[in-house]
Amino acid sequence: MEHVPVLLEAILSMLQPAPGRTVYDATFGRGGHTRAFLQRGARVVALDVDPAAEAEAQKLLAEVGPDRFCFHRANFSDLEKVAAKEGQADGLLLDLGISSPQVDQAERGFSFQQSGPLDMRMDPTSGTTAADLVNNLSEPELRNLLREGGEDRDPGRIARGIVRARPLATTLDLATAVCRATRPARPGAKHPATRTFLALRRAVNREGETLEKALSAVPKILKVGGRMAVLTYHSAEDRVVKHWIRGHAEEEKREMGMAFGQANPERWVKALEEVVPSEEEISINPRARSARLRGAERLQEEKK
C-alpha cells in the first residue's frame, strides 16, 4: 500500500512552511510530509532511525540539495542534539505512527496480516525484538506490558495464552495465540491481536519514553512564534501530548482582562485547534482512521 501522509493539509496549515522558515520532520518515514514542506519553500531537517528511511532521504537530498534538506539517522528523542547542530525551528512535526511500507513488509514484523519474524524494531539493526519479549518475559510482566502499552481489555488472559504457546517465532504465531486466548478473528471487525501488537511495538521501541524526551526538548528546538504539530494514533500517546500542551499553555483571559497562569513559569505556549480526519480522508486512507492532530505555538521564551 502506498504511503499517504496523514492530515497533510491540516499540518501545512498548522506549521505554515514557507521560504525562509525551517521545519523539522522528526519522523521522516518515507518523506511524504517533508516533500510537502519543501514544495512550500521551507528548509527541512529530517530525522529517522529506519535504514529504509535514510535511503529515501538520500534520494531526496540528491533532488533538492543540502541547502534545502538535511537528514540525520537519529531517533526523535535526539532532537535537542540535532538542533544544536542545525539551529532552531519555525515548525516541528512528530508523526507517531508507522509508515505503510513498514506495515506492508512482512520481514519487519509489524503486522499480523502476513507471516514474518517477530521483530517490530524501527531500527532493525539493534535492540530488543518482539520475539525477545514474548518468549522471555514472565506472565505478570507480559500482562503489565499489554495493559499499559496497548490498553488490552483482557491482558491477563492474553498473557497466559502467550506463555502457553511459547516459543513464538512469527507474527502469525503471536496472532494465533491471542485469538485462541480471546476470540477468533472476524471479517470486518478489529483483529483481536491489534492492541497486543501495538503494546509490543511501543515496548520494543520505547515509544513512551522517547515521546517524553522529545517533548521535553521543545523549548530548545522551537523559536518564539514557532509551532509544533503532533500526530498520534492511540489514546495513550494522545493523552501524553494533550497533558503536555495543557501543562504549558497559557490559560484563556476572563472578560475583565485578568489572565490566569501567567505567573506560572511553565506556561509559555498556546494550544492550537485539535484536528481529526474527515470521513473523506478516511475513505481514501483507512490508516488515518485513528489519527489525531494536536499543536502548540510558542509565545515567549521559557521562564527559568
Q: What is the mean pLDDT of residues 64-88?
A: 96
Q: List, for residues 169-216, the tens digit of each pLDDT value.
A: 999 999 999 999 998 878 777 889 999 999 999 999 999 999 999 999
Instruction: Tell me the domain boundaries of the chain.
Output: 8-100+208-298, 123-204
- Average pLDDT on 102-128 reads 89
| C-beta of residue 55 within 8 angstroms of C-beta of residue 124 | no
Tell me the pLDDT tens digit for each residue of 16-31: 999 999 999 999 999 9
Q: Is the pLDDT of residue 2 over 70?
A: no
HSE at residue 174, side-chain half, CA atoms within 13 A, is 33
pLDDT of residue 260: 45
- Residues 128-147 pLDDT 10s: 999 999 999 999 999 999 99
Please write the tens of the pLDDT for every residue from 261-283.
444 556 889 999 999 999 999 99
pLDDT at 22: 98
pLDDT of residue 152: 80
Residue 3 pLDDT exceeds 70: no
* C-beta separation of 123 from 49 below 8 A: yes
Domain 8-100+208-298 has CATH 3.40.470.10: no
Mean pLDDT in residue range 65-88 = 96
Separation of alpha carbons 67 and 56, rounded Å = 18
Torsion of CA 64, 60, 290, 105, to 10 degrees: 170
Cβ atoms of 230 and 294 closer than 8 Å: yes
In CATH, 123-204 is 1.10.20.140? no
pLDDT of residue 300: 77
Q: Inter-axis angle of helices 32-39 and 8-15, to 10 degrees?
A: 50
Per-residue model confidence (pLDDT) at position 256: 37
Taking only the tens place, the pLDDT of each residue in 233-252 is 999 899 999 999 999 997 65
pLDDT in tens, 9-63: 999 999 999 999 999 999 999 999 999 999 999 999 999 999 989 999 999 999 9
Residue 261 is predicted with a pLDDT of 42
Handedness of CA 294, 299, 301, 304 (dihedral sign): negative
Q: CATH topology of 8-100+208-298 equal to that of 123-204?
A: no
114, 3, 117: which is closest to 53 by C-alpha?
A: 3
Whether 253 has a pLDDT exceeding 70, the answer reads no
